[in-house]
Amino acid sequence: MIDTAMRRVAQVLFFILLAFGLFYVWKATKESAPHYHPRDYDEIAKEGVLRATMEYNAIDMHAEGDSIGGFFYEMIHSFARDHGLQVSIKPEMSLEKRTEGINSGEFDVVAHGIPSTSDLKDTLLLTSPILLSKLILIQRKPLNAEDSLKYITSQIQLAGKTVHVTSGRSVITRMEHLSSEIGDTIFLAEETRYGNEQLISMVAHGDIDYAVCEEFIANLAADSLPQIDIHLPIGFTQFYCWGLNKKSPALLDSINLWLESYLKSREYRALRKKYF
């Protein structure tokens, strides 16, 4: 009886000590985790570091030998240079995670081509337009009988087809509207693990049949994947911008004022020529 009671006391003490140990580990982890909050230009300038996020792709940022390049990568560095700032960039493929990072203050700017749509304007501050583009259907060129049967020449032919898209409300909304316009169902496969370039590659290699992405990304991909067809537009031409937290109006003004002059500059023309 005494031995049994002692074992029970030892077990209780063990679980108490374990609980205290787990509590202190949790507390230390919580205290060491970064505490973010939305920042405006004055606070960013005081720290001297602009926190940005973008996709890892041929347009946003990518490895170029032993260095990093990209249209938006070079643009955000030019903005930082002209304002005496350093840039900290975290690549993020998921639109939801980029938006969450902006809302939490982990990022100051999404330096990625965001379509200027009403639903995104409800959640983000959008800069002045940087690019004009539209959504394009990605499919394989009809080089054999099987591909000829699957080849789409009209949006109406998408009825009953499965189209792969990256996560993003604007693309999904456009596809839902198109489904309504043609009076039939277009099945959407939303990919949260892949970016547009991965989807284009999957189409090119026959893993999937159809994908939708922005024209400026499709044009670059077509240079290295001649088997893909990018001629069928899915949406109207629209503006693409950068996104900021709603609590960063001064940062928005700074970027817009800079864009007004930068987009007319020789440096920007050379950047456009390099990537487009």
Do the first three CATH levels of 41-131+244-275 and 135-236 match, i.e. the same topology? yes
Report the distance separating Cα 210 and Cα 194, nearest Å: 14
Encoded tokens for 142? 């009809």
pLDDT digits (tens, 9 = 90+) for 50-108: 999 999 888 999 988 889 999 999 999 999 999 999 999 999 988 888 889 999 999 99
For the domain spanning 135-236, the CATH number is: 3.40.190.10
pLDDT digits (tens, 9 = 90+) for 121-166: 888 999 999 999 999 999 999 988 888 889 999 999 999 999 999 8
Which fold is adopted by the domain 41-131+244-275? Answer: D-Maltodextrin-Binding Protein; domain 2 (3.40.190)
Helices and strands (DSSP H and E) totals, the chain: 11, 13
Helix (H, G, I), strand (E, B) or coil at 207: coil
Task: Give the type of residue at 244.
Answer: L
Encoded tokens for 68? 């990093």
* Residue ranges covered by each domain of the chain: 1-33, 41-131+244-275, 135-236
What pTM value is reported for the model? 0.80
Q: Roughly how many angstroms between the first and final C-alpha of the chain, as a whole number?
A: 83
Contact call for residues 205 and 194 (beta carbons, < 8 A) = no
